[in-house]
Amino acid sequence: MKKITLMCMVTLLQAFAYAQFKTVAETPLFEEPETGYAKILQLKNGNTVVVHLSARNGIDLTIYNPEHKLAGFKHHDPSFGKLKGARVNAIFETNGTIALLISEVQERTPVLHKLLFDGTTGNLEWEEKIAEAEKYLFKDVRWIPEFDPVNSFSVSKDPYSDNYAVFIRRDNSGLADKNQMEVVVYNGNHQELSRAFYQPAFKYASLNYLDMAVLGDDRVCILGFAYNEIASGDREGQLVMMTLPKNGRRMTSELLDLSENRIADSAIVRFNPVTKKLMLLGTAHIEDANPQPYQGFLLIIDPFKAKVEQEINIYPTEADVQKKKLYGAKETFTGMPQDLVINDDGSFSIIYEELINEKHTPRDATPYTYYMLNDVAVASFDVNGKMLSTSFIPKKQYLKNTSYPSFYIAQRKMSAQHLIQAEQYRSFAYLHTKNKLYVLMNDAEQNTHPENGNIVQLRALSGGQAYSYVTGTPAPQRSLFFGPLRKDEKHTLAVFNLSDYNKATNTYVTLKLEMTSTARKSRLVWLTPEE
């Protein structure tokens, strides 16, 4: 009797663990996409569109109808032909069209293309070059394919409307004079609303652009760090907010305060519709300080008064406690903020990750860099900025062929996932539903008992599975994302980084990799998260 009772309890626990996501529909198996860039979009008309871009072979759009059945496939060969040094800056929907903004280098000049596709048929409706930056020097010609043209262009879309803005950095030196930086604002019909050049803020000649927020059709707020180069590696400057109003042709600039005279290195900005305030989440450092204080910061800014109202301590202390429990008292959580999510009531959560670069210089070989993607934390705050809970999730991942900058998680929401040597299965993603925040990642199967501290890297896909974590507790447990393995399945992983979530229908769609003893194929899967 005791044995039967124990078996029933185990079965119930397993059922509970697998109840986080319920499969709604799935496509037949197809060959795994392994190159190019990809993005999945769930459109307002109910269609799901897979955009697959190749630097050499054009653009493919695969369309599934609201019943998740294949409805069409279109291949396009854009006029720009083969791409050099390409980067997908943004893919998003506006008014039933799919907008693709992609940058590349043409004859030493970084350019930005905009392509518009019909969200029902997949037909190409419009294609144009909308911006270009200053030419690279002739001596840099042979290196241009290695350059990252995204440094010249940034795109931001208002999450509450179809308006979006493009930031053009004409001169990559960072100099702010001679009309080197420009912002253009568009509505959902891709018509230009505003355009203006940035003028140097007060006494500062250079600008490190951070991010911008589009506030409907009212204004765009651009955040940056204005500075002067006092000496090599020595900057004197201050945060600055530029505002471009509706129908504006000129920006206004106001200097902002950041405590301890820190220098802002990178940041994202979000508008909280409940508080009507901007939230600037960033990283900063103090020159010559040893040791450096925690580099993450969060400022609450009134966008209408251009004034900092609050600076919030965002260091996730509980993550440090949990890391010490796992790895030892000498370990410290060093994760930097990677993204910010805002709830319907104005409360918010911050996602952190330990991102470490390891440079290697082999003897008589080309130097290379490993990008170590380690432990994750999620901290939740109330609308006033009081930290309510923190979750710590141990992981060890690494990349050899892809460089991940600060806030790459936030940037990836607008961009596309690079498919290269299976690295698309690494990193992690999060899913923010109405009532829960999940962390999603592929992980080594043997990391079953992280309390032992023996966390290993996912070196081969044949050693991993897709997992999900519900945040909110200090040390959340992982569950198999796709549930129990089916017959013949050995491993199921997901390319979480190109997935999409429709909040209105509570539907999440991702690319699933199914590995058996004899085959390795993919399919799209639509799921509903547990609310």
Contact between 484 and 400 under an 8 Å Cβ cutoff? The reply is: no
Buried b (16+ CB within 10 A) or exposed e, 170-194: beeebebeeebbbbbbbbbebeebb
Q: Are strands 464-470 and 491-494 parallel, antiparallel or unpaired?
A: unpaired
Residue 270 Cα distances to 215, 222, 338, 343, 362, angstroms: 10, 11, 13, 12, 42
Contact between 271 and 278 under an 8 Å Cβ cutoff? The reply is: yes
**DSSP label at residue 463:** G
Buried b (16+ CB within 10 A) or exposed e, 91-108: bbbbeebbbbbbbbbbee
174 Rama class: left (phi>0) / alpha (psi -120 to 50) / beta: left
Q: Which domains does the chain show, CATH number per domain?
A: 152-312 (2.115.10.20), 328-484 (no CATH)
Cis peptide before 291 (omega within 30 of 0): yes
What element of type H or E holds 125? strand 124-132
pLDDT on residue 150:
53
Return per-residue pLDDT of the chain as tens, 531 residues: 444 444 344 333 443 445 589 999 999 999 999 999 999 999 999 999 999 998 788 999 999 999 999 999 999 998 887 787 788 999 999 999 999 999 988 888 889 999 999 999 999 999 999 999 888 776 655 555 555 545 789 999 999 999 999 999 876 655 656 557 899 999 999 999 999 998 887 888 889 999 999 999 999 999 999 999 887 777 889 999 999 999 999 999 999 999 988 999 999 999 999 999 999 999 999 888 888 889 999 999 999 999 999 999 999 999 999 999 999 999 999 999 999 999 999 999 999 999 988 877 877 777 777 888 999 999 999 999 999 999 999 999 988 767 788 899 999 999 999 998 888 999 899 999 999 999 999 999 999 888 777 899 988 999 999 999 999 999 999 999 999 999 899 999 999 999 999 999 999 999 999 999 999 999 999 999 987
183-208 residue pLDDT tens: 999 999 999 999 999 888 788 888 99
Residue 222 Cα distances to 22, 239, 255, 267, angstroms: 41, 11, 12, 11
| % of the chain with per-residue pLDDT over 90 | 71
pLDDT on residue 359:
79
Residue 138 Cα distances to 2, 106, 107, 326, 439, angstroms: 79, 13, 10, 52, 45
329-378 residue pLDDT tens: 999 999 999 999 999 999 999 999 999 888 778 777 777 778 889 999 99
pLDDT on residue 454:
86
pLDDT on residue 178:
55
Distance in angstroms (rounded) separating the CA atoms of residues 184 and 66: 34
**DSSP label at residue 471:** -
